[in-house]
């Protein structure tokens, strides 16, 4: 973890690139984003997590002026998110969840179009440079529609970077992309952040979450937790035990519903058993720890345990 940027999460003196509060969006009767607040500092990579349909895309769209918030206020790059969306659009690179460049245009043609729309100076050079930077030069005349997922994602990133934005909003950029391409993508994100670019990125991958300087977790349109990964784990107050042994599936079935056991999640050849109340959990587990053939270890809960826990408690509160 980059400690300087991580410290920035708690340091109010750092320059905020995104600072919004009370953000609310309704579609008809349904409140999809409810009283959402976030503060992202310059140079940070901020991870945005939450189950499908929790309002991540909607929030990102409100930040870049694609949707008008029903309530809430704040600024993005120093511009008011409600009144100055035109200026925000100029300085933001937004990568949509679904590939949204023209499949019937070649890579170079797509980038050329984007460059013109943003009125990029020295357009031809800028396009060439961006193609080069993302290793797309060899495919410049290929139609975007014929690219595979990983290459499409690279092209989309190229299109976001072309006008040298100050803020990147990436909506599940690595969904459906192979691990090697994901790794390269994230290396690139870190390089960009090191150069001062701020990044808000939504993801479902835990390894990606761990590579972020700070995280926000949203469910049912509400911000449930935010902070660094370490902070989130500490704040969760969760205790986790790992069990290894035979017939884990049967063990899991027995453990579910016991007092103090909030979560039983199989992780490969082990079982993670977690609960918010450490004493009660320990009491419930005591008889099982006597069983022969099992090895019980108390472990630090992972981010995934924390998020599933958050999700479960949210379900109780909002459903």
Partner 1 sequence: MNAYFSWPRFLAVLLKEFVQMKRDRLTFGMIVGIPIIQLILFGFAINTDPKGLPAALVVNDESVFSRSLVRSLENSQYFKFTHRATSEAEADRLLQLGDVQFVLVIPSDFSRKLQRGERPQLLLAADATDPSATGNALATLNQTVKQAMDRELVGPLSGLKPGELPVDLRVQRRFNPEGITRYNIVPGLMGVILTMTMIMMTALAMTRERERGTMENLLATPVRPIEVMAGKIAPFIIVGYLQVTLILSAAKLIFGVPIVGSLVLLSLALIVFIAANLSVGFTFSTIAKNQLQAMQMTFFFFLPSMLLSGFMFPFRGMPEWAQWIGEALPLTHFLRIVRGVLLKGNGLAEIVPELWPIGLFMLVAGTVALKRYRQTLD
Ligand X SMILES: Nc1ncnc2c1ncn2[C@@H]1O[C@H](COP(=O)(O)OP(=O)(O)O)[C@@H](O)[C@H]1O
List interacting residues with ligand X (CB under 6 A): 27, 32, 50, 52-58
Of the candidate residues 9, 16, 111, 114, the single one contacting partner 1 (CB under 8 A): 114
In the structure encoding, which two tokens stand for residue 137, read together?
């030069």
114 interface partner picked from partner 1, ligand X, Mg ion, none, CB below 5 to 8 A per type: partner 1
68 part of the interface to partner 1, by CB under 8 A: yes
Contacts with Mg ion by CB under 5 A lie at 56-57, 97
> H or E element: which one contains 111?
helix 107-117
**3-class DSSP state of 265:** strand
Q: How many Å apart are CA 36 and CA 72, to the nearest integer?
A: 8
Question: C-alpha angle with apex 230: 225 to 234, nearest 5 degrees?
Answer: 70
229 part of the interface to partner 1, by CB under 8 A: no
By beta-carbon proximity to partner 1, the closer residue of 92 and 311 is 92
Q: How many Å apart are CA 90 and CA 94, to the nearest integer?
A: 10
Q: How far is the CB of 240 from partner 1 (least distance, A)?
A: 40
Q: How far is the CB of 8 from ligand X (least distance, A)?
A: 25
By beta-carbon proximity to ligand X, the closer residue of 54 and 240 is 54
Burial 200-213 (b: 16+ CB within 10 A, else e): bbbbebeebbebbb
By beta-carbon proximity to Mg ion, the closer residue of 31 and 97 is 97
117 part of the interface to partner 1, by CB under 8 A: yes
146 part of the interface to partner 1, by CB under 8 A: no
Count residues binding partner 1 (CB under 8 A). Answer: 24
Nearest to 99 by CA among 181, 160, 20: 160
**3-class DSSP state of 17:** strand
- By CB under 8 A, name the binding residues for partner 1: 27, 61, 64-68, 86, 89-90, 92, 94, 96, 98-103, 114, 117-119, 159
């Amino acid at each position: 973890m980059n400690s300087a940027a991580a410290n920035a999460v708690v340091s109010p003196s750092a320059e905020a690139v995104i600072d919004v509060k009370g953000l609310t969006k309704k579609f008809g009767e349904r409140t999809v984003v409810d009283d959402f607040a976030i503060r992202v500092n310059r140079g940070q990579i901020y991870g945005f997590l939450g189950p499908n349909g929790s309002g991540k895309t909607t929030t990102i769209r409100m930040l870049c002026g694609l949707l008008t918030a029903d309530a809430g206020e704040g600024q993005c790059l120093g511009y008011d998110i409600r009144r100055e969306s035109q200026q925000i659009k100029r300085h933001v690179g937004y990568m949509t969840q679904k590939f949204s460049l023209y499949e019937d245009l070649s890579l170079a043609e797509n980038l050329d179009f984007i460059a013109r729309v943003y009125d990029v100076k020295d357009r031809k050079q800028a396009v060439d440079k961006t193609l080069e930077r993302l290793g797309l030069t060899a495919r410049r005349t290929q139609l975007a529609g014929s690219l595979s997922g990983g290459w499409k994602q690279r092209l989309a990133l190229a299109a976001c970077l072309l006008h040298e934005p100050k803020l990147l909003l990436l909506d599940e950029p690595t969904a459906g992309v192979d691990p090697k391409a994901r790794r390269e993508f994230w290396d690139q994100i870190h390089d960009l952040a090191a150069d001062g670019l701020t990044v808000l990125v939504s993801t479902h991958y835990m390894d990606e979450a761990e590579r972020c300087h700070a995280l926000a977790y949203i469910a049912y349109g509400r911000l449930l937790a935010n902070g660094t990964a370490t902070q989130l784990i500490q704040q969760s107050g969760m205790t986790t035990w790992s069990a290894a042994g035979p017939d884990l599936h049967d063990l899991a079935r027995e453990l579910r519903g016991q007092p103090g056991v909030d979560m039983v999640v199989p992780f490969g050849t082990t079982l993670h058993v977690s609960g918010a109340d450490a004493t009660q959990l320990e009491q419930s587990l005591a008889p099982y720890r006597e069983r022969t053939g099992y090895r019980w270890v108390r472990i630090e809960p992972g981010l995934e345990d924390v998020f599933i826990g958050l999700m479960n408690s949210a379900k109780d509160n909002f459903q």
